[in-house]
Amino acid sequence: MKHLLFTLFLFLGIAVNSQTANNFQKTENYIIQEKSDSAVFYLNKLKDGKEKAFLKKMILRDYISYKDYYHFITSLAKRENLDFNAVANYINKEVKTPKISKGLDRDFFNIKWILISKLRNEVHLEEANAEQIKLENYVARFKQTSDTYLWAHTKMQTHLLVMLVIEKNIEEGEALINKSLKIAKELEDIELQIIFLNHSKDFLIYQNKLEKYISTCEYILELEAQLEERSSYYYGTITDLVNAYIYKGEDDEKVLKLIDELNNSYSKIYSYMLYAQLMSTAKNKPELKNLILTKFEVDNVLNLVRKLEKLGKDLNLNEYYHLMNKSSDALAEHDYFEEALQYKHKALEITRDIYSEELTKSLTKYTNQKALKIKEEEISSEKEQRQLYFLIALLCFALLIITFVVLRKNKDQSDELTRKNKLIEKSLEEKEILIKEMHHRVKNNFQIINSLLDLQTDEIKDEKALQILEKGRDRIKSMALIHQKLFRSKSGLINFNEFVDLLVKELSYLYKLNDHVEVEVDIKDIFFDIDTAIPLALVLNEIITNSFKYAFKTQKNNKLTIILDKQDKQPYLLTIKDNGAGFKKEFKIEETKSSGLKLVQRLVRQLHGKLTIINNEGVTFEIQFQDTETRKEIN
């Protein structure tokens, strides 16, 4: 049962990954077709991540650089089922030629070089030649002495190399390869070396140099290991090396390891032909045969071929022909003669070539060989099919049960979550009403206290008592301002910059100093909770009031500066400075009889702070203090 569930979840995982890749490719397709709405539709089906964010940027055309375009085109170039003519139209419309003043742009060059290579590989030679001329004209506009120019000029020679291969001009082709490889080594450009070594293999095939061909492939893979990211030739080199090993009869384990690596890549579609080819050599190698069958989760060669046929449906016609042909060979080698003939016919239909009578006869022989054995295998196959149908039915039943349980559980969880959310919303509404009522009552209490102090002020004739009441009233106003800011704050924190501005305006108006004192406030966006804000507000109220009442004796050049700052891992520093008359020289804060300054000292201690008074060219109060969280840690 455990094995059954594991298999089921494995199937589900494969399906999800396949759907994700499909949505990713559809998004890319609609981007190059400039169908933004459709691209956004499939983009929203992808999981959040770097690639999704990148595709969104391409859809919105949000400050796209040549590096972005190169990343996008490289991704498209790795796909095997994409007509690059559509990509060519997109590139020519969207990717504009860079300004010469900015120098030769490598990303722009690589975009065009990939375009030429893909068009050429898809046999659009006329379009490839036209793009090659454009690229040559672009490169020709730069200084021929720079390394970048030498790199670009050398890399462009790959197009000429392909033409020489088509013409079978081995001598000129090898000379060009040797020259280009020398330049690539001088530039210490590993990827450039790989490119020309890869093209050298075409000429080695014409010369029947199998050992040299194999050693070149192996050397390319050694160079690939030195790169941070595999080049576009990596998996093609593996394919070529596997073909050479199979032809030579090399160690099967080494061949299978290379094919498996190809199967786990963007180019996995090409690995299917190699698996079919390798299977055709495995008749007398049961261990190799079982390894391949197990990998594709099939029980015989016929089912393997059918699965490879389905997996390789997106191959181009030429590669698909080879897959059908190799599949036919594998079937015939393992005595599936009738099926082998069917796949041979498929290969013939694909190529639409006229085959000789001799070949036709050799193919029809498959139908007459070992008829009794085929009949016996048909009976065995029917039994295996019945077992397979039973397993599929069992899997479907298990899937239905699991789906029902999951849906039921999700529904219960959803209902419970909805119920809890409603309770939370109701609780929040009740708390919000209570908080509003509390704030309203606090506001009323402040107003009542302020009104009582006003009434007391009218009745008191003693000047000193009157001053004490006025100070109390100012302190009440400061706390009321803090409460007002707190009530309007959604976060429960007070923007102290805004509060200080309000406090200065209130006190300036109260002492009628709006036009006689220049107040400079330098406070960044600093926020405090009420436990820090109220004592700090009272400190500010006392010191600013003291400055407004006693510091400024003239009507001109009066200045009050308020600065609040904090450095990393340091206490807050509040600086209040005026350029007034200052204290007497013998003034000591410890000996002061002023109730206001005594209150300041107590409040600073409450904030775990330190008060420093500088009596020079006016008075400067420097107060170092901690916020609520830091004070809790200290306590």
Whole-number pLDDT of residue 94 = 87
Among 323, 331, 327, CA closest to 369:
331
> 56 falls in which pLDDT band (50, 70, 90)?
confident
CB 537 within 8 A of CB 522: no
CB 540 within 8 A of CB 478: yes
Sign of CA dihedral 88, 91, 93, 97: negative
Q: What global pTM score does this model have? A: 0.48
DSSP string of 358-422? HHHHHHHGGGGSSHHHHHHHHHHHHHHHHHHHHHHHHHHHHHHHHHHHHHHHHHHHHHHHHHHHH
pLDDT mean over 207-230: 90
* CA dist 531 → 440, 490, 628 (Å): 19, 17, 7
Residue 23, pLDDT > 50, answer yes
Whole-number pLDDT of residue 464 = 66
CB 538 within 8 A of CB 476: no
Whole-number pLDDT of residue 369 = 39
280 in helix, strand or coil?
coil
> 99 falls in which pLDDT band (50, 70, 90)?
confident
Q: Centre a 10 Å sphere on the Cβ of residue 586 and count the other Cβ atoms it contains.
A: 6
Which residue segments constitute the domains of the chain, with CATH numbers given? Answer: 492-634 (3.30.565.10)
Residue 352, pLDDT > 60, answer no
Query: What are the pLDDT digits (tens) for 409-424?
Result: 888 888 888 888 888 8
Whole-number pLDDT of residue 374 = 55
Whole-number pLDDT of residue 467 = 64
Q: Are strands 572-578 and 558-566 parallel, antiparallel or unpaired?
A: antiparallel
Query: Residue 632 is encoded by which pair of tokens?
Result: 């809790």
Q: Where are the alpha helices (DSSP H) in 98-189?
A: 106-121, 125-140, 147-155, 157-167, 170-186
Query: What are the pLDDT digits (tens) for 598-619?
Result: 888 888 888 888 999 888 888 9
pLDDT mean over 348-377: 47
Phi, psi of 615 (to 5 degrees): -100, 80
Helix 2-32 crosses helix 36-43 at what angle (to 10 degrees)? 160
Residue 129, pLDDT > 90, answer no
List of residues 6+ apart from 632 with CB closer than 8 A: none
Residue 383, pLDDT > 90, answer no
Among 542, 466, 397, CA closest to 5:
397
Sign of CA dihedral 140, 144, 147, 153: positive
pLDDT mean over 201-228: 90
> What letter represents residue 389's amino acid?
Y
Residue 9, pLDDT > 50, answer no
Higher pLDDT, 606 or 455: 606
Give the integer Cα–Cα distance in Å for 535 and 542: 11
Whole-number pLDDT of residue 49 = 85
Whole-number pLDDT of residue 365 = 37
Helix (H) or strand (E) holding 615, with range, is: strand 610-615
Residue 8, pLDDT > 70, answer no
Whole-number pLDDT of residue 126 = 82
